[in-house]
Amino acid sequence: MGSERGDRDGGAPMPLRQDLSADADAAALAVYFLRELEVRVDALDRAWMMGTIDVVHDIARHLRGAGGGYGFPEITREAAELERAILADEAVAAEIGEKLEDLIDTCRQACAGGGGRP
């Protein structure tokens, strides 16, 4: 599932490009967002490994809100999917883990792309 988009198969993540107009201010903000994104991806991974699902949920909620605003609607979509999996009454660890990996892959693609536009 994620290997076609990300690096779960051991390869480098495919770049994800920012979806904003050619606004220089937006590009500068995206650089800041991408630096923070790397930190948040590491925090997501640590929180999942430690079993602190509330922290995973908080980070996902933040990324859902911020992703689209910084020109990365894919991050918003993946974060929303992870949030839904966490909040679902029938949520199981495997589904949450899959959604978490999808979000992490998407974030890594954004970092690999550097926020540049095609």
Work out the mean pLDDT of the chain and round it to a whole number: 80
More confident residue, 97 or 113: 97
Q: Please give the structure tokens belonging to residue 34.
A: 């991408």
Whether residue 37 is contained in a domain is answered as yes
**Residues 29, 72 contacting (CB under 8 angstroms):** no
Whether residue 10 is contained in a domain is answered as no
User: Cα–Cα distance between 118 and 114 in angstroms, integer?
Assistant: 11
Q: Which domain holds residue 70?
A: 24-113
More confident residue, 106 or 95: 106
pLDDT more than 70, % of the chain: 71
Whether residue 99 is contained in a domain is answered as yes
Burial class (CB in 10 A: 0-12, 13-18, 19+), 16: buried
Overall domain count for the chain: 1
Q: Please give the structure tokens belonging to residue 78.
A: 């993946």
